Amino acid sequence: MHAHFLDPYKPRSSPIHQLDARLKVPLVIAFILTTSLIPIGGWPFYIFLTAVLLSAEILSDLGIPFFFKRAALALPFVLAALPVLFTQTGNVWVTLPFGLTITAPGVERFISVALKAWISVQAAILMASTTPFPEILLALRALRLPKVLVSIIGLMWRYLFVIVDETIRMMNARNARSGESPNPSYKHGGSVFWRAKVTGGMAGNLFIRSIERSDRIYHAMLSRGYDGEIRHLPLPSIPEIQRWISVVVFVSFFLIVVLARVLWG
More confident residue, 98 or 239: 239
Q: Is residue 84, in this structure, part of any structural domain at all?
A: yes
DSSP 182: S
Residue 157 lies in a domain: no
Q: For the CA atoms of the chain, what is the radius of gyration?
A: 24
CB neighbours of 151 closer than 8 A, spacing ≥ 6? 228, 229, 230
β-strand partners of 101? 95
| pTM (2 d.p.) | 0.79
pLDDT at 32: 92
Compute the distance between CA of residue 31 and CA of residue 25 in angstroms, rounded to an integer.
Answer: 10
Confidence at residue 65, expressed as pLDDT on a 0 to 100 scale: 87
- Mean pLDDT for 131-158 is 86
Write down the mean pLDDT value for the chain: 82
The verdict on residue 211 lying in a domain is no
Asked if the structure places residue 126 within a domain, the reply is yes
Beta bridge partners of 95: 101
Instruction: Give the residue numbers spanning the domain of 59.
Output: 3-143+240-264
Q: Is residue 77 part of a domain?
A: yes
At residue 51, the pLDDT reads: 92
| pLDDT of 134 | 87
pLDDT tens column, 172-186: 887 777 766 666 666
Asked if 12 and 96 count as a contact pair (C-beta separation under 8 A), the reply is no
The per-residue pLDDT for 77 is 73
**Which amino acid is it at 240?**
E
Question: Could you tell me which of 262, 150, 169 has the C-alpha nearest to residue 213?
Answer: 169
Residues linked to residue 94 through DSSP beta bridges, in sequence order = 102
Q: Using pLDDT thresholds of 50, 70 and 90, give the confidence band for residue 3.
A: very low
Q: Are 60 and 12 in contact (CB under 8 A)?
A: yes
46 part of a folded domain: yes
How far apart are alpha carbons 88 and 106 in whole angstroms? 5
**In the predicted model, what is the mean pLDDT of residues 206-233?**
81
Domain-embedded: residue 70: yes
**Separation in Å, CA 205 to CA 37, 199, 201, 209:** 46, 10, 6, 6
How many separate domains does the chain show?
Answer: 1
Convert the pLDDT of each residue in 150-160 to its tens digit: 888 888 888 88
Q: Is 41 helix (H, G, I), strand (E, B) or coil?
A: coil
Longest alpha-carbon distance in the chain = 74
Of 84, 120, 116, 121, the closest CA to residue 101 belongs to 84
Would you say residue 31 has pLDDT above 90?
Answer: yes
Q: Would 111 be classed as within a structural domain?
A: yes
